[in-house]
Amino acid sequence: MRTVLGSIERLDGAERTVTYWVSDGQRHYVEVAEERRELDGWGLKKRIVVQLSEVFVLRDAIDLACRKATEVPR
């Protein structure tokens, strides 16, 4: 089973980044995919698979990036 957790589409609508939760009942992982618009839908450009054991490390890194982003003037 593959569930979309979030998606960000580029301004021109030609590419997007999608985060999926993937599970087959025994294995679980997070997949971050860069996709490009094609004639028949979205095609995979690049994929990063994050194993379940690595999810908390990734969360800590994203939390740190969010804290640093608040320091950047808009």
At 57, list the tokens.
């490390």
Write down the pTM of the prediction. Answer: 0.77
d(CA 60, CA 72): 19
Burial of 9 (0-12, 13-18, 19+ CB in 10 A): middle
**Residue indicated by tokens 């618009």:** 37
Domains and CATH numbers, the chain: 2-69 (3.10.450)
**pLDDT on residue 69:** 94
In 3D space, the residue among 43, 44, 18, 42 whose CA is nearest the CA of residue 31 turns out to be: 18
Tell me the CB-side half-sphere exposure of residue 18, using CA atoms within 13 A. Answer: 17
Chain centroid to Cα 1, Å, comes to 16
Summarize pLDDT for 23-46 with one digit per residue, the tens: 988 889 999 999 999 999 999 999
